[in-house]
Amino acid sequence: MPKRILVLDDNRDILEIVNEVLSYENFDVHATSTSNGIIEVAKNYNPDLVILDYLLSDGNGGDICKQIKADEKLRHIPVIIFSAYIHRDVDYPAFGCEAVIAKPFDLNELVDKVNSLIVKN
């Protein structure tokens, strides 16, 4: 059974590319552009990995990561945060994420990071 990845990014172009690349790598991808109800989506989808954009038009990926890590059913799931703001004073590890990928990102880097985090679990 393919590993499941939940992707949240409000940039539809990035969402489409990530969905295509990960689907090509034989992952089952659930991609969404809205953070509304994302914790329930995660509980229902039961992903093996979550990828969150940091700065969303309707939320913050860091705060969502904290919610995931605080939830008993979801806390074991590794989280990657995408951010175009890596060099600002943001303490990404404080959110509980396992990895941070700077935007723009290399697709091979994304696939390698996903594979390394899923294999560990």
Read off the CATH number of the domain in which 11 is found. Answer: 3.40.50.2300
The predicted-structure confidence for 26-49, as pLDDT tens digits, reads as follows 999 999 999 999 999 999 999 999
Mean pLDDT, the chain, integer: 93
Rounded distance between C-alpha atoms, residue 68 and residue 44, angstroms? 13
Q: What is the pLDDT of residues 90-117, one digit of tens each?
A: 888 899 999 999 988 999 999 999 999 9
Domain count, the chain: 1
Q: Pull the structure tokens for residue 97.
A: 């994420």
Domain of residue 81 covers: 4-120
| pLDDT at res. 87 | 67
Whether 41 and 30 have beta carbons less than 8 Å apart is answered as yes
Q: Closest by alpha carbon to 83, among 98, 63, 61, 64?
A: 61
